[in-house]
Structure 1
Amino acid sequence: MAKCFLTILLLVVSPFGMAQQWHTLAAMPQAVQEIYPAVHQGRIYVAGGLSDDLPLSEQQMTNLVQIYDPATNSWALGPALPEPRHHAYLVSVQEQLFLFGGFVVENGGRWSASSDVLLLDEQSHSWRKIASLPQPLTETTAAVLQGKVHLVSGRSPQGAENAQWRDQQDVNWHWIFDPQTLQVTEAAAVAEAFNSATAVALNAQFYLIGGRQVNGGNLAVLQRFDLTTGVWQALAPMPQAQGGLAAAVLDKQIWVFGGEYFNEGGGVYSQVWRYDPPTDSWQQQAYMPLPRHGLGAVSLNDAIYLIGGATAVGLKATSAVLEKFSR
């Protein structure tokens, strides 16, 4: 089911003094948003997601695993998840591909938070549950430090009910998953509880960026966790508070894309921000050709790939676009 498409190259001379290249690549077979993709063995994996292209009878969610091969600019379908799932986090670590949490259809709703840890069994071409998180966890962030997966912030059920979006509350948890022992340990929590942030690992440190609170709106915070000290440090905040955004590393700097806001009728952010760790400073670098929220971003082959998302706030205008951003 692989498909190939022509690549469209857009060379942008940025008003901020730097030229960027935006390549529009092969579109995904299925448009999805609220995804957390991963690079695994040189290819990009996207698991599950929400889409207004999907019928209400299927809860507008999918179990598809879509795999992009940059060598051929084509997509193929991989082993499907055991059930449709959205807001689930994919992480490749120690040559294995794991999926953490997310929302599934249970208890009479499609917003039932899961504690599942799934592993892609590449021998049998299937996913299997190999562990459970201490509590259900969704809309979290993740990054790999020294061969272990750090999961920070997100949402989890606030009581016995676990079926609807309103059943979930923000959390400030910081868990470390060991892919060898399949055990989860606690680490220093962040100061505030929030969800829908983004995160990257850079120089063996965990950077946690933006996000939002159920009752407080978007956040501009930037925090860094140092493995050596085990302490979180507040850094220069983003120039603009954003939730539902994505980030990736390019040229040893952090690049941040997209997100959504709900005030004044709501909308999607178009700015591209660059954070420079040595100077602890932010600068706008560009505008996205197609602004989106709920998108994924991964670093691969000296470029950043921006995947899916939605061009309008909420569960509508879901996109199948794949773009490559480089300098």
Structure 2
Amino acid sequence: MLLPVQEIYPAVFKGEIYVAGGLSSELPKQQGQMTALVQIYNPKTNTWRYGPALPEGRHHGQLVAVLDQLFLFGGFIQANGGHWSASADVLQLNLKQQRWLKVATLPAPLSETVSFVLSDKVHLVSGRSPATEANAQWHDQTDVAIHWIFDPKSLKTEMGPVLPEAKNSAAAVVWNDMAYLMGGRQVKAGNKAGVHRFNPKNQQWALEKAMPEAQGGLAAAVLHQQLWVFGGEFFEQGGGVFSKVWAYSAAENNWQQHGEMPLPRHGLGAVVLDEAIYVIGGATAVGLKQTSAVLEKVSVK
């Protein structure tokens, strides 16, 4: 990437990969080490370029492409005297004006959430929201089990069936018309290995086979009927970053290791484009340290 960033949730839009905002250990602390820059990768030319910047620096913002539109939900901004003020903004990229516009407001500020698209609607599940009116620092937030459903046509949000447990920093994918939410962490209990499946037909959550390791700050993608999981961080015994690559097969109902990441990271993103998984950015050390600009292409036979 042109700028190393972590705590990102990239999206594929019009055949390119978009990364909006993020944190970087290379940016000044006085600006909260966050950026408003939007980076776009073109797989045909194998090059990055800058796109229309966000209205302000923002990290942990959820970028989602749906119905040929690109939205960004929530995340943290600099406000209320701090750099970790959770936002309720819904931004949309206006291609004609080449700028981001605020088009809606979520029911409450939300960050460190996950998203997936079912039936052309955006689902936002889990994450952190303000526990107090302060809403300025990370510790002002608390884990939530929310499930919101955003309609890109009406720009309105309705409530969905809540997740069975509150947590943040998980990963989510859609597979066989159902959504899978994997891992994450609870601030007081640490990383989680659980996998929750959401069935839109009966509107219910159910537990699937847990991941082999409890991982938070991870990324996930689906390719060739397998669910792939990359990275994450842990804080026990001095902390570290997960290196093993795991894949889940529904046919075998089993997780298997498929090697290790060349550069283990957390706070990274993963998307599928042109029959390959692209693993993007993140940090090679726990927390806001050693932010990486690496882009890896994972081909699966």
Fold shared by both chains (TM-score > 0.5): yes
Q: Does 1:117 pair with 2:90?
A: yes
Q: Equivalent residue for 1:176?
A: 149
Q: Does 1:247 pair with 2:220?
A: yes
Q: Which amino acid in the other structure matches residue 185 of structure 1?
A: E
Q: Deviations over 1:120-166 (max 9, x none)?
A: 00000000000000010000000111100011000000121100010
Tell me how many residue pairs correspond in the alignment.
Answer: 300
Q: Equivalent residue for 1:282?
A: 255
Q: Equivalent residue for 1:185?
A: 158
Q: Equivalent residue for 2:182?
A: 209
Q: Which amino acid in the other structure matches residue 187 of structure 1?
A: G
- Report the more deviating stretch, 160-169 or 54-63: 54-63
Q: Equivalent residue for 1:73?
A: 46
Relative to the length of structure 1, the TM-score reads: 0.91
Where do residues 77-88 of structure 1 align in structure 2 (5 Å cutoff)? 77-88=50-61
Q: Deviations over 1:190-217 (max 9, x none)?
A: 1110000000011111100000001000
Q: Does 1:138 pair with 2:111?
A: yes
Deviation (angstroms), 1:57: 2.4
Where do residues 85-96 of structure 1 align in structure 2 (5 Å cutoff)? 85-96=58-69
Separation of aligned partners in 2, 1:219 and 1:126: 38
Separation of aligned partners in 1, 2:268 and 2:286: 12
Deviation (angstroms), 1:58: 2.0
CA RMSD across the alignment: 0.6
Q: Does 1:100 pair with 2:84?
A: no
Which of these residues, 174, 182, 191, is aligned with residue 218 of structure 1?
Answer: 191
Separation of aligned partners in 2, 1:280 and 1:173: 28
Q: Which amino acid in the other structure matches residue 275 of structure 1?
A: Y
Which of these residues, 122, 134, 137, is aligned with residue 164 of structure 1?
Answer: 137
Deviation (angstroms), 1:279: 2.8
- Report the more deviating stretch, 55-64 or 69-78: 55-64
Separation of aligned partners in 2, 1:280 and 1:136: 36
Which of these residues, 252, 256, 264, is aligned with residue 291 of structure 1?
Answer: 264
Separation of aligned partners in 1, 2:205 and 2:25: 38
Separation of aligned partners in 2, 1:313 and 1:66: 24
Higher relative contact order (CA 8 A, sep 6+): 1
Relative to the length of structure 2, the TM-score reads: 0.99
Q: Could you list the runs of 5+ residues in structure 1 that have no partner in the other structure?
A: 1-27
Q: Equivalent residue for 2:20?
A: 47
Q: Deviations over 1:223-242 (max 9, x none)?
A: 10001010001010001000
Which of these residues, 199, 205, 212, is aligned with residue 232 of structure 1?
Answer: 205
Which of these residues, 10, 28, 31, is aligned with residue 58 of structure 1?
Answer: 31
Q: Equivalent residue for 2:173?
A: 200
Separation of aligned partners in 2, 1:280 and 1:195: 25
What SS does the corresponding residue of 1:243 show, helix, strand or coil? coil
Separation of aligned partners in 1, 2:12 and 2:54: 17
Separation of aligned partners in 1, 2:248 and 2:105: 34
Separation of aligned partners in 2, 1:180 and 1:249: 26
Separation of aligned partners in 2, 1:53 and 1:154: 26
Deviation (angstroms), 1:286: 1.3
Q: Could you list the runs of 5+ residues in structure 2 that have no partner in the other structure?
A: none
Q: Deviations over 1:4-62 (max 9, x none)?
A: xxxxxxxxxxxxxxxxxxxxxxxx01000000000000000000000010111222110
What SS does the corresponding residue of 1:311 show, helix, strand or coil? strand
